[in-house]
Chain A
Amino acid sequence: MVKWTEEERQTIRSVWEKVDIDETGPQLIARALIVYPWTERYFGTFGDIFTTSAILTNAKVATHGKVVLRALDRAVKNLDNITETYAALSRLHYEKLKVDPDNFRLLADCITITIACKLKAALNPQVQATWQKFLSAVVEAMNNQYK
Chain B
Amino acid sequence: MSLTAKDKDTVRAFWAKVSGKAEDIGSDALSRMLLVYPQTKTYFSHWKDLSPGSAPVKKHGKTVMSGVGDAVSKIDDLTSGLLSLSELHAFTLRVDPANFKIISHNILVVFAIMFPKDFTPEVHVSMDKFLSALALALAEKYR
Contact = CB atoms under 8 A, between A and B. Distances in A.
Main secondary structure of the interface of A (DSSP, over half): helix
Contact of B113 (A120, A126, A129, A132): A120
Contacts of A132: 36-37
B35 A109 contact: no
A61 to B, nearest CB: 12
B124 A52 contact: no
Interface in B98-121: 105, 108-109, 112-114, 116, 119, 121
Interface string A100-135: 000000000100111011111101111011001000
A128 B109 contact: yes
Nearest to B119: A117
Contacts of B23: none
B7 interface: no
A34 B109 contact: no
B122 interface: yes
B36 A128 contact: yes
Task: Classify the secondary structure of B's interface with A.
Answer: helix
Contacts of A109: 105
B31 interface: yes
Nearest to B128: A35
B116 A118 contact: yes
What's the interface size class on A, roughly? 20 to 34
Contact of A34 (B35, B112, B116, B121): B121
A56 B121 CA distance: 10
A31 interface: yes
A35 B36 contact: no
A142 interface: no
Contacts of A31: 121, 124
Interface of B: 28, 31-32, 35-37, 52, 105, 108-109, 112-114, 116, 119, 121-122, 124-125, 128
